[in-house]
């Protein structure tokens, strides 16, 4: 499935790639607060989100003083 129709960035999320954006959009998550609530396990359960994306999101959250939920 092509992801060219998806935006390069959504909400206040860093540039994580269109497949990951598609996974988060399908889940209804478009903000760092939503990502933090999902936690690492929840993120990795989404098709299109891998360890690299989790690292990028964790770094963006850390810049705001927020951590992923356990």
For 10-41, write each residue's pLDDT tens digit.
999 999 999 999 999 999 999 999 999 999 99
pLDDT at 68: 95
In this prediction the pTM is 0.89
pLDDT at 4: 76
Task: Using alpha carbons, list the distances in angstroms from residue 4 to 10, 19, 37, 39.
Answer: 14, 9, 27, 27
Structure tokens of 70? 């356990």
Tell me what percent of the residues of the chain surpass a pLDDT of 90.
86
SS3 68: coil
Nearest of 70, 5, 62 to residue 32 by alpha carbon? 62
Q: How confident is the model at residue 2 (pLDDT cuts 50, 70, 90)?
A: low
């Amino acid at each position: 499935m092509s992801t060219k129709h998806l935006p390069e960035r959504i909400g206040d999320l860093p540039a994580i790639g269109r497949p990951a954006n598609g996974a988060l959009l399908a889940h209804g998550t478009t903000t760092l607060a939503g990502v933090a609530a999902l936690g690492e396990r929840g993120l990795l359960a989404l098709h299109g989100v891998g360890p690299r994306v989790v690292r990028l999101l964790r770094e963006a959250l850390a810049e705001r003083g927020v951590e992923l939920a356990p």
